Amino acid sequence: MMPTLSGNIRLKQNLTFRAAARDDVPLILEFIKKLADYEKMLPDVTATPELLEHWLFDKRAAEVLFAVADGKEVGFALFFSNFSTFLGKAGLYLEDLFVLPDYRGQGIGKAMLAELARLSNERGYGRMEWACLDWNEPSINFYRSIGANDMSDWTTYRLTGSALVKLAATGDST
């Protein structure tokens, strides 16, 4: 996938996009760890190459898009489809987006979001969504600048680990 960027995105280098392939699993994990380190969550990463290969390429539960500048992968986005009952159609959920520190401030993040928006439109999706840590002011300001609305009236809930197992087995998470 190597689209032309829209005319109002100016980059300091040649930028293209490509979908990840199975042999990119080590690179995907490297990007995940760099993102987790930035978010101060590196100890939480339990993903392995085997898990990523199984879920991304055998099960096709998510997709990865790389931003490539002058032949080097400098950003990645991991996303999957979700569904809006109100819209009656699928949407794109962006789980992770990360640009290497040396390549920030050059429009790569915006170009990646534009490419994901293009892909969403091409697939007929009704929306694009993602979450952002509440302390990440630079990202929040950037998302607002491109017209994204925060969903401050919604709270995200998560079940993981033993609580997820317990609820599935007994119907009681306490």
35-64 tens-digit pLDDT: 999 999 999 999 999 999 999 999 999 999
Q: 81 phi and psi, to 5 degrees?
A: -90, 145
C-alpha to C-alpha distance for 154 and 82, rounded to whole angstroms: 17
Rg (CA), the chain: 17
- Predicted confidence at residue 8, as pLDDT, reads 44
- Predicted confidence at residue 43, as pLDDT, reads 97
Q: Could you confirm whether 38 is annotated as catalytic?
A: no
Q: Where residue 65 falls among pLDDT bands split at 50, 70, 90?
A: very high
Nearest to 143 by CA among 87, 94, 81, 75: 94
pLDDT in tens, 101-127: 999 999 999 999 999 999 999 999 999
Contact by Cβ (8 Å): 34, 98: yes
pTM: 0.86
- The residue-averaged pLDDT of 164-168 equals 92
Question: What CATH class is the domain 15-130?
Answer: alpha beta
* Residue from 93, 103, 125, 143 carrying the catalytic annotation: 143
